Structure 1
Amino acid sequence: MVRRLLAGVLAVGAMLSGAVLVGSAPAEAKTVAVSDTLLPGQKLMTLQSIKSASGVFTLTMQRNGNVTLLQRGETQPLWISGTYRPGSVLVMGTDGTMRIIYGRTQIWSMGAASPNAKLVLPNTGLLAIYNTGGKAVWNRHMVIGTLMPGAKLRAPDVLGRDVTLYSLDHVYSLRVLTSGDMVFRKNGTTVLWRTGKNAGPEAHADINLNGSFCTYTSGNDCVWEFATHRPGTVVQIRNDGSYLLINGRTIVKKFV
């Protein structure tokens, strides 16, 4: 009888937390989800959230399928997934990768291979994935390995929304500078490639659904573009220093 009552309490607690358990979750994910944490195997469905303990920061799966990180009192999101598919679900995978699933299709992923890692939203607002040793293997300022359609690279701004693409080993990086120039570097110092085009403050870059890789001004005017004309193309940085545009298994463009 006691076990049945305990199971009921845990189930109610999981629903109140806003995090839903996936059936294949490991043992620790079957406990009540902490309000600021998405455990391995848990997910956020439409209008479900996790929130920092202070209540200042909230990560929410919006009705339009876009995941947003908002700070209390601010109208601009600190971070967005860029996935506008109503009915999508954010899943914290047991392999350490955070995914957005639409139906049975993975449309977005972020993180690094780290079994049983968890997603945490601390009071600093630095959304991050932590491995079992307590080390952050991803945070909201990072894209690891591959930039998928919809995700954005951002120049630093007053809200701290900068996002940089890194190789898996973090040696190589693709960053949009405060000037709006996009630069590919080794070890954060050696410049291997750059657009040479200044998009100005609060610039960003993305790979569009139509396969065009662009940098934009804060007003969304494209100032540099490489058009692949191949929908589904992604940007990828490899540990050997290769900086590529890839469609399926085909290398469309090798910048470095």
Structure 2
Amino acid sequence: MISTLKTRRRVLALVVAGTAAALLATPAASAAPTAPTASTQTLAVTDVLRPGQSLKAGQYIRSKNGVYTFRMQADGNAVLIKGRTALWSTATNKKGSVLVMQKDGNLVVVYGRTKVWASNTNGSTGAALAVQNDNNLVIYNSRGKAIWYKNMVIETLGVNRVLKPYQLLISRNRVYRLNMQADGNLVLVKNNKTVLWNSKTGRNPGAFAIMQGDGNLVIYRADKTVLWHTATAPNPGSVLVLRGDGNAVIIHGRTTIWATNTAGR
């Protein structure tokens, strides 16, 4: 490197499984942890993380079919796993971090008082996270509408964050999408139909985009060959933001250092 839904489940009744369900040795914990009691140690396996609940190291939720597990690891990474294969993660590595389904609808990884990752779904009070039988992680609001899934990044692609094939950066108003297509092209689309901008890197299946720590947004071919970049290094700590006006920008501090120049289109 240069440097470094389909199963639409309605979570309308968020209930713990009955006594016939297998017991979870390390259950989902309360967002305000208390000393373990007999009741907290005997929670049944659940596929849902409810508002105000959290997962500490070693704790997990699991899909109803028992195939997919979303676990908070001791290294601070929250990982969706099938068997021994990792399918998706928050890509966080602060040991001792906690995954919290906040009451405001935001799913976050917190290290102490610092948020090191967030779904950016705050404003959806009462939302909950579900591990589905189709290997998807989905946040549903209190009306049962999906507002986030694992291949979606809302508004900001942070430092060292990656967009893999089929993943997308979406504006908060849900009008604009920056799609990392399977053919290797990064495409900005309005209302899921009108193309406003693209990186012209198609015909490179498996290519991915990364917002590097040096401030450069780079698209790499599957073999790690550079296909395209914004030439914005060195500006460490920069992030990629997809604004509600349709402009995708790289911001360093408060300064815009690159843009697609698609605002208002």
The TM-score normalised by the length of structure 2 is 0.78
222, 229, 232: which one aligns with 1:225: 229
**1:4 aligns to what?**
none
1:144 paired to 2:148:
no
Q: Moved runs in structure 1, 4+ residues, more than 6 A?
A: none
User: Contact 1:181/1:197 (CA < 8 Å) preserved in 2?
Assistant: yes
**1:192 aligns to what?**
196
Cα distance change of structure 1 residues 248 and 33 upon mapping to structure 2, 3 Å threshold = farther
Aligned 1:49-88 pairs, distance under 5 A: 49-72=60-83, 75=85, 77-88=86-97
User: What is the CA deviation profile of residues 101-123 of structure 1, one whole-angstrom value per residue up to 9, with x for unaligned ones?
Assistant: 12221111114220111111121
Higher RCO, 1 or 2 (CA under 8 Å, sep at least 6)? Answer: 2
**2:11 aligns to what?**
none
Query: Once the 2 structures are TM-superposed, how far is the Cα of residue 127 of structure 1 from its aligned partner?
Result: 0.6
The TM-score normalised by the length of structure 1 is 0.81
Q: More helix per residue: 1 or 2?
A: 1
Identity %: 37
User: What is the CA deviation profile of residues 168-199 of structure 1, one whole-angstrom value per residue up to 9, with x for unaligned ones?
Assistant: 12211111112211111112222211111247
Structure 2 Cα separation of the partners of residues 253 and 43 of structure 1:
37
Measured on the aligned residues, the alpha-carbon RMSD in Å equals: 2.5
Q: Secondary structure at the match of 1:78?
A: strand
User: Contact 1:97/1:110 (CA < 8 Å) preserved in 2?
Assistant: yes
User: What is the CA deviation profile of residues 52-96 of structure 1, one whole-angstrom value per residue up to 9, with x for unaligned ones?
Assistant: 011101111223222211223x63x32221222222221111111
1:251 paired to 2:251:
no
**1:117 aligns to what?**
127
Residues 198-207 or 143-152, more deviating: 198-207
Structure 2, unpaired ranges of 5+ = 1-21, 34-39
Aligned 1:159-178 pairs, distance under 5 A: 162-178=166-182
Structure 1, unpaired ranges of 5+ = 1-12, 25-29, 156-161
203, 208, 218: which one aligns with 1:214: 218
Aligned 1:89-100 pairs, distance under 5 A: 89-100=98-109
74, 98, 111: which one aligns with 1:102: 111
Query: Once the 2 structures are TM-superposed, how far is the Cα of residue 34 of structure 1 from its aligned partner?
Result: 5.8
Structure 2 Cα separation of the partners of residues 253 and 137 of structure 1:
29
Number of residue pairs aligned between Structure 1 and Structure 2? 231
Structure 2 Cα separation of the partners of residues 203 and 43 of structure 1:
34
User: Contact 1:63/1:86 (CA < 8 Å) preserved in 2?
Assistant: yes
Cα distance change of structure 1 residues 33 and 17 upon mapping to structure 2, 3 Å threshold = farther
User: Contact 2:238/2:251 (CA < 8 Å) preserved in 1?
Assistant: yes
Q: Secondary structure at the match of 2:81?
A: strand
Structure 1 Cα separation of the partners of residues 245 and 183 of structure 2:
28
